């Protein structure tokens, strides 16, 4: 794994549950080194077997803030991972980003139903996201 990516994942791992400080600097360095095009896929390929999906999701969520497209490329990649429903690590990362997957709520509901069927251990997180989104829509959020 590339040293810059390793440093970023290590910073996220240390700072989870508190304020991200080193993580922000590492995220900026990672974007400078990797560029934002296909960064989610590159992180998945390089870190997928070694990094916690929750740590990777936190790193990608931080990268939303520093990318010039406000995370659109990361969002597209994560939604593709959910639609493909092939790699449990990628699916778990996508389920733990700070945004709901898919702009269309119905598409999200349908896709997460398939994900829960394919990966039963992730079914609880799928249901949590479905419930939270339905509550947000009911409140008009």
Q: What is the pLDDT of residues 25-41, one digit of tens each?
A: 999 999 999 999 899 99
Position 43 scores a pLDDT of: 96
Count of the separate structural domains present in the chain: 1
Position 48 scores a pLDDT of: 82
Position 140 scores a pLDDT of: 62
C-alpha distances out from residue 138 to 74, 103, 124, 130, 131, Å:
27, 16, 21, 12, 10
Give the global pTM. 0.93
Q: Is 89 helix (H, G, I), strand (E, B) or coil?
A: helix
Position 5 scores a pLDDT of: 96
Position 18 scores a pLDDT of: 86
Low-confidence ranges of the chain (pLDDT < 70): 139-141
Position 30 scores a pLDDT of: 96
Position 139 scores a pLDDT of: 66
Position 1 scores a pLDDT of: 75
Domain holding 10, by residue range, is 3-139
Determine how many CB atoms are found less than 10 A away from the CB of residue 48: 17
């Amino acid at each position: 794994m590339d040293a810059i990516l390793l440093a970023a994942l290590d910073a996220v791992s240390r700072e989870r549950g508190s304020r991200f400080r080193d993580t922000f600097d590492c995220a900026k360095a990672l974007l400078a080194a990797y560029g934002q095009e296909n960064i989610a896929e590159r992180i998945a390929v390089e870190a997928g077997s070694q990094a916690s999906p929750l740590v990777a999701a936190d790193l990608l969520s931080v990268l939303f803030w520093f990318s010039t497209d406000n995370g659109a490329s990361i969002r597209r990649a994560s939604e593709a991972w959910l639609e493909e429903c092939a790699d449990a690590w990628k699916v778990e990362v996508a389920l733990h980003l700070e945004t709901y997957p898919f702009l269309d709520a119905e598409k999200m509901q349908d896709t997460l139903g398939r994900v829960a069927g394919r990966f039963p251990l992730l079914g609880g997180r799928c249901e949590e996201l479905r419930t939270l989104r339905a509550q947000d829509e009911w409140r008009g959020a």
